[in-house]
A = this chain, B = another copy of it.
Amino acid sequence: MEQVWPAKVQSHPLFKGLGDAHRDAMLKAGHLRRYEDGQSVFMYGDPVRSFYLVCEGVVQLFRETPDGHELTAAVCLAGDTLGAHEIFMEKNAHHMVNAVAARASHILEFSADWLRENARKTGAFALNVLALLSKESRVACVEAEHKSSMSAAQQVACFLERMCVLHGYDPHGFSLPYSKTLMASRLGMELETFSRALGTLRDYGIFIQGGHVSFRDLAKLESFSCADCTIAGSCQEHEQLRVALAQE
């Protein structure tokens, strides 16, 4: 049963500082599974059974209001994890969100107990999980703030910039990893608003044609997108973007 895990998995921050042998032993407990476009990974209300690590593809996390409106809580790409919150919240929890593949995806799956037990037994792993949740939480918090303080166009700009950096895309030009409809939903705005925002951004140094994005004038762009951001002075993502744009 020799299995070669994708680089995204081997070097995942979750396994940092554990040593290769320990990491590989842990990874042995995982099953790599393929989901087709539109296939559900789990649904709202399902009992929580597994912890998931996306190796490739796109997974949409969403909930629905009683009147059928769909709100996406997150979109997971390669390297993102699913299910940790629910697993640690309580024993025998149920999923609070639907997870559906938005294209054919490969997901590495572990049992919920695997996550819980390794966190309990291995201190270093517990700290890695805590770091992971803390980072997610920080992003969620800042984004919530953005909804109150920034215009739709500013939010889109900030989101595109972060997306570029966090997934290592080339800031001079890259393709959106999923549809604009999904991005708009992810940002909590209507598709029309999102579309208009993209138009506005042309005046501020982001060019979008079809699914292709390129950053032209980072100075102008930052002075626009970060004007009303509370962490403008200490935003790691923008720091990295500046570096990435200068280097290439």
Binding site for B on A (CB under 8 A): 45, 63-67, 69, 71, 73, 84-86, 88-90, 94, 96, 116, 119-121, 123-124, 126-127, 129-131, 133-138, 140-141, 143-145, 147-149, 188-189, 226-232, 234
Contacts and interface: CB of A to CB of B under 8 A. Distances in A.
Nearest to A124: B120
A232 B160 CA distance: 32
A103 B130 CA distance: 31
Q: Which 10 A-B pairs have the closest CB atoms?
A: A120-B123, A63-B230, A148-B188, A126-B126, A88-B130, A88-B134, A85-B134, A144-B144, A89-B134, A133-B133
Nearest to A66: B232
Q: How many copies does the complex hold?
A: 2
Contacts of A121: 123
A116 B124 CA distance: 10
A149 B234 CA distance: 30
A137 B231 contact: no
Contacts of A85: 134, 137-138
